[in-house]
A and B are shown apart, each in its own frame.
Chain A
């Protein structure tokens, strides 16, 4: 049966268009229930004995939530208790329209078999489709569609009543009007709260209920704290006429009454608008997209340097006003910045936040404040009955709304992550806070994995070059299970060398567009934490089928060069291949083989050949101006039982590290050139922009203080002057300088060649570069593999691969994920360092001054690769006489003057006064400055202290 759906919509040019869609109704849409004998369905989702123990519904029942219940109470629906739910198409479409994140979560639930969620396409069912009546709003029409569908279900199931124990369908809605109408129609209907509260076995679910608008009315005080947000239409016209600006709201980390709004300007540049004061912030939360209105120039202010943290428990505006007063310091005209106020929210960017509960002082109270771990997020008021159990735990809370009469946003408890300070909990927190997707792979994703036992098929062999006879081996860090590269080197008859880099052929297993591919694209990269790895692709691939382990046949994508003994490349070719690695070595093992003159087997000869070439390659690269930078990386030795760090050492680099690296660079550059030649518009490349000269100021100044000149005109000049920089009696100086130089650099980023013109890789001094060699742990490499495969005719292309806008959007995500994973890694190292120092008590160590700030020095402890700040002013003590000089830069504290690179001695201890923000505290021992430095601690103590078992 054919119906047409008609609606009018506005076109972009301001016209009005009538759109007509054909809408087909069918009579073969089944109900999905196990009890039904009428529907000719092959498989059923909904169970016969759908038992959720509820005091309201003692009979088995299916739930039908309406749109608002799904939108607001998705946390409840996700709970394993809730199953046998019918999701109507009307609801699904509306959810999709209104909130993409909720839609995704809902889809995930539907895919989960155990949850037994059934999607009923009521809009296409002959009996449940309804047309909009004159005078009926779209929402009313949808509500009616839901009621009609529920009615249909209850009548449909009634026919089988005798076989079931009175199986019924229950509509959940929070809309009073809808509920009334449903009752009039004789349907079973409950409010979501009523129903959840009636669940006998699971009282804790109540806490997860989002506060609905009805609840908010109860706490309404007469006082309106914030100005009303403007409606979206007003905002849009305002932005069009440029009386408002649209931008991303970025709350200040240090001052809860201050924020900036980043307004994207033409092209790359953007402007920042300062927002100050609660009223002007107007309930915007970090990362929201907001509309701001600029204040008149006379009201512009300068950003304050005061650190303000929202400390009050449930205080309301009085204190805030007082604190706002503190901000109003007279600022010089020049320091004033464009200041504005938030007039409306264009898009909320709320996610569930991690943090801890501040239990209310009133014992019986169920309302508590929640302090997020991220200081930029305001505190959230939640309602819970389990405050006593939740205190001291890390929990997740979602914001439901922020009414204009409430000082804090309202939210609800989502789940507990575990005790604060525990390793698993903190790891979870840092993954969540860095937006690292770390859930187990969904069934949909896993379904695209190859079936085990897996073997290379003859068809695969046909298309691939058989390189199994070659002596290929891999060299990786110890404990590495995701081996994505292997090498070989052999002498050819003409005396030249053949070198092959073999990269795991991940794109063979991950086909474009399927769930596995999408998941990997979203994750973007594998995240390595201390002692934990968050895989980008499921383990079967990462550690088994793709991993180029020794003595098994594996699919590879090979890049093979013919190279002469001067390491000049004569020929390059790419091929899909099958290899059989002869050995998986660690860097140390490989080094030992090379050094051991008694060994002369194939593998060792291979390695020596590679090593020799690598050295030449490296020299050539450095001559061209590649930078050798330095950053301290630490490795923790973990206790095998408790997984607590017991020792810590900075990573050592061996010749073999650099050997593997050289060939990877070579492969990446060769591939980059090839895919760019082939696809100049849509090659995925990686660039490293040259930093602006001002970035080097600190480096030049610091070097000057030791009478060393650093040239920064070009990468080559920088590399040369860094090599030349040496100070007698200070062997660590060069490393320190390189660490500083690293900080001056820009981030390297992925980009699509069709969208950019500057391809240069500054650090590697290469005109073109990409990532090809680690497809197991980086998604960019998978795309590069696909491009290369198309280029050599080994695979077919697909539309998204050739779309430079899609490619560019993907790059943005990869860059974001990459950045976040680095932050997460750093946070993980910081956390493990804290754990380490927790069990060590107070230590004293030697370090170097890395930076000089206005009121502090930043000290690097080379032994631990640890950086810490020594403050010279503190709240409870009288500050010493401090003079900061910009030239230099130097800091004089009383009589002593600190320079960059000065050697100091400090004590290191763990400051756990704030359990959410534990930090390493450093205090000065040497040079001794009376009233500032501390006496050296009793070194006996740490020896006695046993490691803490928690």
Chain B
């Protein structure tokens, strides 16, 4: 991941600031940077969203394809994740530089999103044991400025909200041969219920306190952070610790409490925003990548 060099004096400055709940850019410890969301930005996907958080920018596309269900869960569809760390984001990703980070990120995403408590995987089933929808979630990192997990999770939630899966129905003849039939109307499609899709909140332990949405400088001052996925009800569905340092149980408790609070507060405006954008329909002027 992108790193910055921070001098001792800077570190002290940041640490002291955070102690007083005043961060370098003027935020409090539980404040996010400015976030922008736009959905339906890539026309050849079934659902897409672009999220910028500070200078971090991620693009998520969801493609629905028909596949075979996993044998253990024949009546459910599933999700596949792929994170592409483009060298656009930072020169470190050049060549195969981003691969490791990509795998790390996508492993976390599997844990967080690919379960039936987040998404109703049954609704992705077309024909038990034979056909189901597989949602390929492709994440493209456009720019790294800290806090990738949170930005990606918000973008995935927005993209899943935007996803339109063409409606199909199964016709069968006398011999039991089954045929998938497609609706002729491109507007005839299925939407996903994303109510329970969690968002990730990353909390960075800086000094004795913790902050959300750490910038790269703040990250450099931190030894460990906690990644928590929180649903709109405030339930924690997944938790991971990253970073080399250690966390004592007490601060873990504090951090999870803060994560719950922040996560819950993140969901409500996000949903409101997405619905507002949807209601504009085709009349909405698209911003895209050049806006």
CB within 8 Å of B: which residues of A? 4, 6-10, 14-16, 18-20, 131-138, 233-234, 237-238, 240-241, 243
Contact = CB atoms under 8 A, between A and B. Distances in A.
Contacts of A137: 184-185
B187 A10 contact: no
A471 to B, nearest CB: 70
Which secondary structure dominates where chain A touches chain B?
A: mixed
Contact of A233 (B64, B175, B179): B179
Contacts of A138: 184-185
Interface in B15-58: 43-46
Nearest to B178: A237
A20 B43 contact: yes
Given A8-B166, A15-B65, A135 B180 contact: no
B187 A9 contact: no
Contacts of A234: 173
Contacts of B166: 8, 16, 18
Contacts of A20: 43-44
Contact of B186 (A8, A10, A237, A240): A8
Contacts of B66: 14-16
Contact of A241 (B168, B173, B187): B173
Contact of B43 (A6, A8, A10, A135): A6
A132 B187 CA distance: 9
Contacts of A18: 44-46, 63, 166
B182 A10 contact: yes
Contacts of A6: 43, 186
A243 B174 CA distance: 10
A23 to B, nearest CB: 11
8 contacts: A7-B186, A16-B66, A132-B186, A134-B187, A138-B185, A234-B173, A241-B173, A243-B175
A8 B189 CA distance: 11
A280 to B, nearest CB: 20
Given A6-B43, A237-B173, 9 more contacts: A4-B43, A10-B180, A18-B63, A20-B44, A135-B187, A136-B185, A137-B185, A138-B185, A237-B177
B171 interface: yes
A238 B173 contact: yes
Contacts, number: 56
Nearest to A13: B66
B181 interface: yes
Contacts of B168: 16
Nearest to A242: B175
Contacts of B187: 132-135
A375 to B, nearest CB: 37
Nearest to A139: B184
Contacts of B171: 233, 237
A389 to B, nearest CB: 47
Interface in B254-282: 282
B181 A233 contact: yes
Nearest to B181: A233
Q: Which of B44, B66, B182, B185 has the most CB of A within 10 A?
A: B185
A138 B66 CA distance: 24
A135 B44 contact: no
Contact of A237 (B44, B179, B182, B184): B179
Interface residues of B, number: 23
Contacts of A133: 187
B175 A241 contact: yes
Interface string B174-200: 010101111011110000000000000
A135 B179 contact: no
Interface in B46-84: 46, 63-66
B49 to A, nearest CB: 17
A14 B173 contact: no
Contacts of A233: 171, 179, 181
Nearest to B175: A241
Given A20-B43, A233-B171, A241-B173, A14 B180 contact: yes
Nearest to B64: A16
Nearest to B281: A134
A243 to B, nearest CB: 7
A233 B182 CA distance: 12
Q: Which of A16, A19, A131 has the most CB of B within 10 A?
A: A16
B175 to A, nearest CB: 5
A8 B180 CA distance: 13
Contacts of B175: 241, 243
A133 to B, nearest CB: 8
A272 to B, nearest CB: 25
Contacts of A241: 173, 175, 177
Nearest to B173: A237
A132 B184 CA distance: 12
Contact of B65 (A7, A16, A19): A16
A16 B65 CA distance: 6
Interface string B275-291: 00000001000000000
Contacts of A7: 186
Contact of B185 (A4, A135, A243): A135
Contact of B182 (A4, A16, A131): A16
Contacts of B43: 4, 6, 20
A651 to B, nearest CB: 61
A830 B173 CA distance: 53
B211 to A, nearest CB: 41
Nearest 10 A/B pairs, CB to CB: A134-B187, A20-B44, A8-B166, A241-B177, A20-B43, A15-B66, A4-B43, A237-B173, A241-B175, A237-B179
Contacts of A131: 282
B44 A9 contact: no
Contacts of B182: 8-10, 16
B62 to A, nearest CB: 11
Nearest to B282: A131
Contacts of A240: 177
A414 B253 CA distance: 89
A237 B184 CA distance: 19
Contacts of A8: 166, 182, 186
A137 B185 CA distance: 6
A15 B182 CA distance: 10
Nearest to A15: B66
A238 B64 CA distance: 29
Q: Which of B171, B179, B181, B282 has the most CB of A within 10 A?
A: B179
Contacts of A237: 171, 173, 177, 179
Contacts of B177: 237, 240-241
Nearest to B182: A10
B45 to A, nearest CB: 8
B233 to A, nearest CB: 33
Contacts of B63: 18
A20 B40 CA distance: 13
A14 B65 CA distance: 10
Nearest to B167: A8
Contacts of A16: 64-66, 166, 168, 180, 182
Contacts of B44: 18-20
A233 B65 CA distance: 22
A243 B44 CA distance: 38
A241 to B, nearest CB: 5
Contacts of B186: 6-8, 132
A508 B56 CA distance: 65
Nearest to A133: B187
Contacts of A9: 182
Interface string B96-121: 00000000000000000000000000
A20 B168 CA distance: 19
Nearest to A9: B182
